[in-house]
Structure 1
Amino acid sequence: MKAVAYYRVSTDKQGQSGLGLEAQREAIRVFLNGRGWPPIAEFTEIESGKKADRPELMKALEACRLYKATLVIAKLDRLARNAAFLLSLRDAGVDFVAVDMPDANRLTVGIMALVAEDEAERISQRTKAALAAAKARGRTLGGFRGYRPSTADRSKGVASRQARADAKADLLAPIVRDLQGAGTSSLAGIAKALNDRGITTDRGAKWHPTSVARLLARMGS
């Protein structure tokens, strides 16, 4: 068996201090050593559990698909309130193991995600009811709140997208070179081969000759 480890903490402070990360790493290390599974890759996310956008998780799942590995996480219960995370696990077509719940499976995760979605819907309904009540009392809601993205903010967004694309290129480089070595050299041929394997672009889309050309450019091919 091959394993890909995924760790997550909520804040930069926790990430810098190692608080929480060390415990997760130790739990996964003990678990993997006991089974003889070599961890071929590790991904660390410093992100709130409430956010659905988790680029490191997407990289971990992609690595599992590419190398036919099992995703290993330290704890599932602390992530149970995030439906997006749970559904990503369920729908990714990737086998996974949670150290604290080693018997959890895709059915378990699907049930937990339904509970999380139900709670999110209830919170949304309560919020809408509160806003409607405030509006009925004559309180002005909505409108411009004085913020527009700055040039720096836009630059950070561009840099983030470029970083994701570069990371994807690094991950796919061995696969693409294998395809080229086997005689698949055209842009259309590489696109078809990647799509047939269920591999998506860094934006989650299907491959086309133009996106393959950009990938090769990032690889320096």
Structure 2
Amino acid sequence: MANGRFISYLRVSTDRQGRSGLGLEAQRSAVTDYLNGGAWTLVAEVVEVESGANSERPELAGALALCRAHRATLVVAKLDRLARDAHFLLGLSKAGVDFVACDMPSANRMTVGIMAVVAEEERRMISARTKAALAAAKARGQVLGGFRGRTGTAEDAAKARAARGRNADAQAEALAPILARIDPNGTASLRTVAAALAAENVPTPSGRGTWTPTAVARLRARLAPTS
């Protein structure tokens, strides 16, 4: 039975994956089913729209930062789908954040550390085999390259921007109680607030770098009510 505060992290390669069993709705349903019952609070849902081939996970960094800020547990729907993503697994292993995978609730930091080592080796071996196959094909005179798939559309870009905006809003809302405690009247200088956040080791919204007056100004702007 789930108890405590949670940050959910969902990832898809494209918005079109929502039509498959690995899409956002399926992952969201798995998280809901896992949390059903008990005394729990889902502080925020963080969505990453990113190719599995890309090792950068800015939204994952943000989710881990939220977990540290709220002393929350990271919950993911399917660890087995990400078991070959070494960057993801190492991020979990080194983040110092408690986590749970709905499809593998017994997994722990040591488990994902071992998975990460295996994933990195598998990735290296796959890369080596691919390069060897391409070299052999080229030696046979086969023409390589050419367009595969499709280019991103304006709609794809708009959806990606919207997803990033929603995640940024969620991260800002998660930090709002801390900001209200540090600066209840909203009159402290940006530099003062930045120093206070840094002194308390509150992660920045991106999970990288340190708090600056500019970062505080952006946080205030995102939290400001719209007319």
TM-score, scaled to structure 1: 0.73
CA distance in 2 between counterparts of 1:169 and 1:9 reads: 20
Residue 214 to residue 49, structure 1, CA distance change in 2 (3 Å): closer
Stretch of structure 1 that moved more, 175-184 or 61-70? 175-184
Pairs aligned (count) = 216
In structure 2, the residue matched to 1:117 is 120
Q: 1:104 aligns with which of 100, 103, 107?
A: 107
How big is each residue's C-alpha offset from its partner over 1:36-72, in whole Å with a ceiling of 9 and x where there is no partner? Answer: x423435375868936566665454333212112234
Letter aligned with residue 64 of structure 2: L
Larger relative contact order (Cα-Cα within 8 Å, sequence gap ≥ 6) = 2
Alpha-carbon deviation of 1:92?
2.0
Q: Which has the higher helix share?
A: 1
Kindly tell me: are residues 182 and 199 of structure 1, through their superposed partners in 2, closer, same or farther at Cα, counting changes over 3 Å?
Answer: farther
1:149-207 CA distance string (max 9 Å, x none): 76666655555544443333222222112111399922223223333414023373432
1:21–1:107: structure 2 CA closer, same or farther, 3 Å change rule?
same
Q: What is the aligned-residue identity percentage?
A: 46
- Tell me the amino acid that sits aligned with residue 220 of structure 1: A
Do structure 1's residue 88 and structure 2's residue 94 form an aligned pair?
A: no
Pairs within 5 Å for 1:193-208: 193-196=196-199, 197-202=201-206, 204-208=208-212
Question: Structure 1 regions of 5+ residues with no counterpart?
Answer: none
Considering only aligned residues, what root-mean-square deviation do their CA atoms show, in Å?
A: 3.9
1:99-144 per-position Cα deviation (integer Å, ceiling 9, x unaligned): 5544432222111111111111111111111222222233444588
1:16–1:99 CA distance, 2 compared to 1 (3 A) = closer
Alignment check: 8 A CA contact 2:10 2:24 kept: no
In the alignment, structure 1 residue 66 sits paired with structure 2 residue 62: no
- Within 5 A, what are the aligned runs for 1:1-221? 2-4=4-6, 6=8, 8=10, 11-13=17-19, 14=21, 19=26, 21-29=28-36, 33=38, 37-41=39-43, 43=45, 45=47, 50=52, 57-73=60-76, 75-98=78-101, 101-142=104-145, 158-181=161-184, 185-196=188-199, 197-202=201-206, 204-220=208-224
What SS class does the counterpart of residue 79 from structure 1 fall into? coil
Unaligned stretches of 5+ in structure 2? none
What do residues 59-98 of structure 1 show as CA deviations (whole Å, max 9, x unaligned)? 5433321211223445534432222221221122211234
